[in-house]
Amino acid sequence: MPKATVDVDHTRSPRSTARLAWLIGPALVAGVAYLDPGNVASNMTAGARYGYLLVWVVVLGNVMAWLIQYLSAKLGIVTGKSLPEMLGERISHRWARRAYWLQAELVAMATDIAEVIGGAVALNLLFGIPLLWGGVITGIVSLALLMLQSRRGPRTFEFVIIGLVAIIAIGFTFGVFIAPPEAGSVVAGLVPRFEDTGSVLLAASILGATIMPHAIYAHSALARDRFAPPSAGPGSRTPVPLEQLRGIPTLRLLRATRWDVSIAMLIAGTVNLCILLLAAANLAGVEGTDTLEGAYAALQAGIGPVVATLFAVGLLASGLASTSVGAYAGAEIMHGLLRVRIPLIARRLVTLIPALIILGIGVDPTLALVLSQVVLSFGIPFALIPLVVLTAQARTLGEFRNRMLTTTAGVAASVFLIALNAVLLWLVLTGA
């Protein structure tokens, strides 16, 4: 006698709920790019020099970052390929593909330099370690994190990075509770306006440090690694749809990703805002706070050693986490565009050298961070424009392509960011 069958709604079971919770993670890892030392330097300087004037820039940048990171994750989930892989397939001319790789590689290396320098500065503030040796230690620890990612898989790597994000959040937000800003001034800072050329430069720097090309490349790869099984990976000829191989409908993955991106951007936006508010409330008008070392000394003198120490610990966690994700992004860029995959560990050793040279010859760390943001601004159009175009195409995403409103918002964000980064370049190069 055949057994009776009962249809069960697996999407409402506790096991399904737990599985959806398991989907959270890739955006939190990619979101580390929004908490790197470049962000810290830009937001701290903005608050110290202009008080609450540029609060609106931080909020606006975070809103645009949400859209951009969601589109990046959606590309990886639906296609099972990263943005560099898609561009490697679409750019048919060999030298054009190599030229695109070169600019993306330089941007990734510039990001990595800033992050290693940030870790070195933090170790110097905390323990008095010379900057060069601080850079070496930062590189070794990030190398260990990459070995963990290679041997234990993306999920373990995510847990470690999320732990560092928690340290970053505590380190950079604690001071706001000890010395809170004025609520009225914070609200007034939400009104878009500039004061002078310097405020425009800092606004462009904040956005340049917020929307980073390597975060776009990395997020699509992180989403691919988590949700696209190996049998459906790059070069696969399987006719089986990704949805069947995963066992989770693509629509549900995209809904979970929206939550993932929302949580990540809420954390990143809150932390960046707290950095600016901490400086605006406690460092405005104080001399020497335009450097990380000066800000640390001013916090120690004005609020106390606990807040200053937590700030330095947050900076250290920021450098360690972001440089690991940056190395991951750089390896993906090379693999996708040149179709060459080198071990993450080897890449870590190669990209560590420029940062150590800069630290060794005595270049001012804060200046190096600012210059790295200038290099990043060159790469913004090359990542943003293809992302918006690809996610709007039916031949790429099929039924999951962007709606007209989403595409319009993506185009508007791209134009705005590219224009502001052009202003940043002009102001820096002309010395205005």
Give the DSSP letter string of 156-181: HHHHHHHHHHHHHHHHHHHHHHHSPP
Q: Which parts of the chain register pLDDT below 70?
A: 1-23, 153-154, 208-209, 228-247, 290, 344-345, 370, 373-374, 377, 424-425, 428-429, 431-432
Closest CA to 40 of 223, 220, 209, 251: 209
pLDDT at residue number 179:
83
Cβ-based neighbours of 6, under 8 Å, separated by 6 or more = none
HSE-CB at 260 with a 13 A cutoff on CA atoms is 30
Contact 37, 275 (CB under 8 A): no
CA distances (Å), 20 to each of 24, 65, 134, 252, in order? 7, 23, 40, 8
- One-letter amino acid at 302 equals G
Using alpha carbons only, what angle is made at residue 156 by residues 62 and 226, rounded to the nearest 5 degrees?
65
pLDDT at residue number 210:
74
φ, ψ (nearest 5 deg) of residue 214: -65, -25
Instruction: Quote the DSSP letter at residue 80.
Output: S
The reported pTM is 0.84
Contact 119, 323 (CB under 8 A): yes
d(CA 27, CA 31): 6
pLDDT at residue number 69:
92
Contact 100, 113 (CB under 8 A): no
CB atoms within 10 A of CB 404: 8
d(CA 218, CA 26): 9
d(CA 274, CA 177): 10
d(CA 226, CA 237): 20
Report how far Cα 156 is from the mean position of its chain's Cα atoms.
19
Cβ-based neighbours of 229, under 8 Å, separated by 6 or more = 242, 245, 246
pLDDT at residue number 105:
83
Instruction: Quote the DSSP letter at residue 391.
Output: H
Angle, helices 305-338 vs 344-360, to 10°: value is: 130
pLDDT at residue number 242:
54
pLDDT at residue number 72:
93
HSE-CB at 358 with a 13 A cutoff on CA atoms is 26
Using alpha carbons only, what angle is made at residue 119 by residues 116 and 122, rounded to the nearest 5 degrees?
150
CA dihedral 26, 28, 33, 36 (to 10 degrees): -150
Contact 250, 78 (CB under 8 A): yes
pLDDT at residue number 84:
92
Contact 219, 81 (CB under 8 A): no
